[in-house]
Amino acid sequence: MILTHGALRPYPSCLTRLSRLTRHLNLSFPNKNPFSISVSRYASSQFSPILSVSHRHSISCVQKGDQVSVEQPEIIFMGTGTSEGIPRVSCLTDPLKKCPVCAKAVEPGNKNRRLNTSILIRFPKPSGTCNILIDAGKFFYQSALRWFPTYGIRTIDAVVITHSHADAIGGLDDLRDWTNNVQPHIPIYVAERDFEVMKKTHYYLVDTSVVTPGAAVSELQFDIIHEKPFIVHDLKFTPLPVWHGRNYRSLGFRFGNVCYISDVSEIPDETYPLLRDCEILIMDALRPDRSSSTHFGLPKALEEVRKIKPKRTLFTGMMHLMDHEKVNEGLLKLMETEGLDVQLSYDGLRVPINL
């Protein structure tokens, strides 16, 4: 482990195999009318100066199992569910009451099956495809098993952390599969307060001197971030500070014209200016009826959408009361009545963007 506040030590790079991949997003609604999502490059002087913690290295290649190169930047939803995920074991084993959403979620390909909330940002660079992960929760490895082979993803160039709950950092130990077999190390971008938590929950990853000789753990490099813009692989991230319960700070992130806020109970007044001219808003919406003490419910999330006025909104972090098809059918009506382009995301959803 190397803790840095500036540039990271580069390691050898090579060009990945060029393989043309043209994918376009089709989002299925009950009426079966697909539409595509794209965003223009975000550039605004209000977010400078930038705290540069850029590292311009690329991951070493291997002869077998190279990741697929991409020409169009995109977001992949690695997970869109709560901490316990969907389906719940307690629902599937309940002899008296059937949970309709969890019952659907066990069906292959059903969009109600949700693991811990996380996205992967993929974009091309001269040295190959760059993969930046936001959060690696306790179900991350299961998400990677499902989507990395499916979409030709091999490396993880960086992980950006929103907060230090288990559904955001519980999968850091599983990154050993990458640092043992794919690449030398993985940079982790984390706020100071969350790094202090990691010193307790993942002490052996922060201080590898305590590891038994010969044991192979994740080789991570920790970069401390603050509530001001920073750079990861030439991509600017602007932190979006929010409250995730009383007195608990979490970060959303803006990159390009995409604003990502996965865990939120309240948006402070000072964060709203950072959300101006947002084209795609990805935001927390736990349940259909009300908010909890730590998460927006759908009514509050829609209230925020009306205030922020993004061009399109994708909700994430849904629990088992949120039936994908039924809720999306209701959300479609808001396009007719209010012109709101809102819907639930789902695990594996790919959204092309411009950066």
What is the DSSP secondary-structure string of 277-326? T-SEEEEE---SS---SSS--HHHHHHHHHHH--SEEEEE-B-TT--HHH
Q: What is the CATH number for 334? A: 3.60.15.10
215: Cα separation from own chain's centroid: 29
Check whether 176 has a pLDDT greater than 90. yes
* Domains held by the chain: number: 1
CB half-sphere exposure, 84, CA atoms < 13 A: 9
Tell me the mean pLDDT in the region 277-296. Answer: 97
> What's the rounded Cα separation, in Å, for the pair 317 and 70?
27
Q: What is the pLDDT of residue 21?
A: 36
Band (pLDDT 50/70/90 cuts) for residue 9 is: very low
Sign of CA pseudo-dihedral 74, 80, 83, 86: negative
Give the number of other Cβ atoms within 10 Å of residue 95's Cβ: 5
* Chain centroid offset of residue 173 CA: 18
Range of the domain at 263: 2-352
Confidence of residue 70 (pLDDT cuts 50, 70, 90): confident
DSSP letter (8 states) at residue 269 = G
| Structure-token pair, residue 58 | 């690329």
End-to-end C-alpha distance for the chain, whole angstroms: 30
- Whether 267 shows a pLDDT value over 70: the answer reads yes
pTM for the complete prediction?
A: 0.82
Separation between Cα atoms, residue 130 and residue 153, nearest integer Å: 10
- Other residues' Cβ atoms within 10 Å of the Cβ of residue 232: 24
Give the pLDDT of residue 22.
36
Measured distance CA(77)–CA(124) in Å, rounded: 18
Q: Categorize the per-residue pLDDT at 260 as very low, low, confident or very high, splitting at 50, 70 and 90.
A: very high
pLDDT number for residue 66 = 57
With cut-offs at 50, 70 and 90, classify the pLDDT of residue 71: confident
Q: What is the pLDDT of residue 26?
A: 38
Q: Which residues pair with 283 in a beta bridge?
A: 261, 315
- Mean pLDDT for the stretch of residues 89-108: 97
pLDDT of residue 329: 97
12-69 residue pLDDT tens: 333 333 333 333 333 333 333 333 333 333 333 333 333 333 333 333 333 334 567 7
Residues 228 and 239: their CA atoms lie apart, in Å, by 6
Cα radius of gyration (the chain): 20
Q: Which residues contact 198 (CB under 8 A, 6 or more apart)?
A: 164, 169, 172, 190, 205, 206, 222
Query: pLDDT value at position 82?
Result: 97
Mean pLDDT in residue range 193-203: 98
